[in-house]
Structure 1
Amino acid sequence: MKLRRTLAAVLLAAVVPVAAACGTTVEAATAGSTVSSDSSSTDSGTSGSSTTDGGPGGGGPGGIDVASVTTEAQLVELVQEAYGDAGLGLHRGHQPVEDVLDEVLAISHDELHVRMDAGQNLAAVAEDVGVDPQDLVDALVAEYGPAIDTLLADGTITEDEAEQYRAALEEAFTFRVTWDGEQATPTFSGLDA
């Protein structure tokens, strides 16, 4: 019995981070399991703009909702989020951008997991299904772009700064799509003065 619980705990430790990256709650990940957990998933929050819905523009667990970005500090966080979370392996927390992946790659979420678990990054998956990886990057940038447009429209940033933020988003999503599993995730702390 102790061995079975230990094995279940080890398996959960491996599954829960990936499940969380895809928006699956701990409760859903452990449904049907004989191991119970008293811990619950919490949202650490990001500048008061966090969501857990993962819908269009939704940030996912701990992520930023694109539609709620109202400050340059939140925009900086959004660009950093675009790099993904290296702690989640090749998945990099793809749940916040799942809608774009589904639309551009036109494969099921389960198939995406199978391919990523086999060692493919998003660029390799895209190429395998006949999609130019740059088209995927462009679609991801377009999904996050409205946050830049909002700050430009309200005068928080200039047109030149907006272009720099778009370039930063493209760089971040290019990194995420082509990540080889080895490179350290860059830190984006805002535009250079």
Structure 2
Amino acid sequence: MQLRRTLATVLLAAVVPVAAACGTTAEAASTTTSSTSSTSDSSVADTGPSGGRGGQGGPGGVDVSSVTTEEQLVELVQEAYGDGGLDLHRGHQPVQDVLDEVLGISHDELHVRMDAGQNLAAVAEDLGIDPQELVDAMVESWSPAIDTVLASGAITEAEAEQYRAALEEAFEFRVTWDGEEEMPTFSGPEA
């Protein structure tokens, strides 16, 4: 009996931080499905493809649909790298819809594969999918933020192209990250 309790404690300690990073804890599930919780409740996770917060969405919690300034665009690109503190998972909640669509596996299966040491590129390759397809889909899902800032006149077309390239580089890093390489810092396009 003691062995079971110890094993359960160890498993719980390993699973809860990863589940929280993905917005899959029971608390997050109950608060997002409860009809009585308000949208201002800080425990409600943004589970859409465009955002997240704190530990669930990445370092900045930038919402793609609300980006209107170049400063927010810089934060968005930085967030695309993911949260290195979450190991290979890198906090995939903000891109979960893309992962579901492109990989075609359940969130739980993705966790099993990543917990076994596979990064997103290895998962894709095991499923017969070119990892670049995953990168392209992630870039496409976050590119509307660049278009919004471009349309506002805050950046030029040349800067928008630099942001698109930076976004692609960030998602390539996230998809292929081996758990060793230090996460780059993005501070804006080259002048």
Shorter-chain TM range is 0.7 to 0.9
How far did residue 28 of structure 1 move? 5.9
Equivalent residue, structure 2, for 1:143 = 141
CA distance 1:42–1:26, shift in 2 (3 Å): farther
| Alpha-carbon distance in 2 for matches of 1:42, 1:4 | 35
How far did residue 138 of structure 1 move? 0.2
Q: Is the 8 A contact 1:21 1:93 kept in 2?
A: yes
Q: Is the 8 A contact 1:79 1:169 kept in 2?
A: yes
Cα offsets for 1:80-128 (capped at 9, x unmatched): 0000011111101011100000000001111111110111000000011
| Alpha-carbon distance in 2 for matches of 1:53, 1:119 | 27
More off after superposition, 14-23 vs 166-175: 14-23
How far did residue 53 of structure 1 move? 1.5
Would you say 1:114 and 2:107 are equivalent positions? Answer: no
How far did residue 7 of structure 1 move? 7.5
Equivalent residue, structure 2, for 1:55 = 48
Q: Is the 8 A contact 1:16 1:26 kept in 2?
A: no
User: What are the equivalent positions in structure 2 for 1:6-155 lying under 5 Å apart?
Assistant: 11-25=11-25, 27=27, 52-60=45-53, 61-62=56-57, 63-155=61-153
Q: How many residues align?
A: 175
Q: Helix, strand or coil: the match of 2:170?
A: helix
How far did residue 192 of structure 1 move? 2.3
- Which structure 1 segments of 5+ residues have no match? 30-40, 44-50
Q: Is the 8 A contact 1:59 1:96 kept in 2?
A: yes
- Which structure 2 segments of 5+ residues have no match? 30-40
CA distance 1:22–1:160, shift in 2 (3 Å): same
Q: Is the 8 A contact 1:54 1:97 kept in 2?
A: no
How far did residue 8 of structure 1 move? 6.6
Which amino acid in structure 1 is aligned with residue 45 of structure 2? Answer: T
How far did residue 64 of structure 1 move? 1.2
Which amino acid in structure 1 is aligned with residue 179 of structure 2? Answer: G
Q: Is the 8 A contact 2:49 2:93 kept in 1?
A: no
Which amino acid in structure 1 is aligned with residue 46 of structure 2? Answer: D
How far did residue 181 of structure 1 move? 0.6
| Alpha-carbon distance in 2 for matches of 1:42, 1:13 | 23
| Alpha-carbon distance in 2 for matches of 1:128, 1:112 | 12
- Name the one with the larger helix percent: 2
Cα offsets for 1:37-79 (capped at 9, x unmatched): xxxx967xxxxxxx83221322353511100001111111100
Q: Is the 8 A contact 1:84 1:93 kept in 2?
A: yes
State the TM-score, normalized to the length of structure 1: 0.81
CA distance 1:10–1:28, shift in 2 (3 Å): farther
How far did residue 187 of structure 1 move? 0.7
How far did residue 26 of structure 1 move? 6.6
Equivalent residue, structure 1, for 2:33 = none
State the TM-score, normalized to the length of structure 2: 0.82
Equivalent residue, structure 2, for 1:188 = 186
Which amino acid in structure 2 is aligned with residue 57 of structure 1? Answer: S
